[in-house]
Amino acid sequence: MGKSSRPSAGNSTHSILHLVKQVQYKAYVRLESVLNPLDVTAVQFRILTTLSTRPDMTSADLARLYDVKPQTMIKQIALLEAKGLIERRVSDTNRRLLEVRLTELGASSLKQLQKDTRALEQELLKPLSADEQADLRGYLLRLLESLSGAGDDKAEGDEIEELTPEYRRVGVQRL
């Protein structure tokens, strides 16, 4: 193969934190361009993904999950509702709560968004072999578990974040 396409493991001149942030930023910009045709932001996409596996959450539940102020989440919920992607309804168990769920349009839009974002991920990861992609995923999960470990205020059994069967993503994104 001649010169290896793999970066030198001994090259320690680049900060890992800086490189991770640069990759995250460039990937985020590309993600926004994929989501833009359906008029959805990355934050809204994550909310839709959450609601696809956990319907009937309240905006307060979502705010706690994403570690944002309730007012911030309410703004995103209002935007998604105005687009017809979600609906709020009075809870069957507590008449004082409004629960949020996907509409039919929201569910179909989410399926298209997931298809488009999976294609983007494949494109972004093209420079890596299947083994390298698996290694990278393993390293990132190990780091995430380490960072989400003992010192956090999480109750035993709490997940890092929901992992949907059709679109597995982990991590907290502040809105």
**SS3 call for 102:** strand
Query: Taking the model in full, what pTM does it have?
Result: 0.72
CA distance 48 to 136: 26
Q: Are 100 and 87 in contact (CB under 8 A)?
A: yes
**What is the model's pLDDT at position 44?**
94
- Left if phi > 0, otherwise alpha if psi is -120 to 50, otherwise beta: which for 166? alpha
What is the tens place of the pLDDT at every residue in 127-163? 999 999 999 999 999 998 998 874 454 444 444 444 4
What is the tens place of the pLDDT at every residue in 33-89? 999 998 999 999 999 999 999 988 998 999 999 889 999 999 999 999 999 999 998
57 DSSP β-pair partners:
100
**Beta strands of 31-156 (E only): which ranges?**
57-58, 86-90, 98-102
Q: Are 102 and 48 in contact (CB under 8 A)?
A: yes
pLDDT > 90: what percent of the chain? Answer: 62
CA distance 37 to 19: 29
pLDDT > 70: what percent of the chain? Answer: 78
* 149 or 104, higher pLDDT: 104
* Element (DSSP H or E) covering residue 17: helix 16-35
Q: Are 77 and 98 in contact (CB under 8 A)?
A: no
Which tokens go with 86? 């979600």
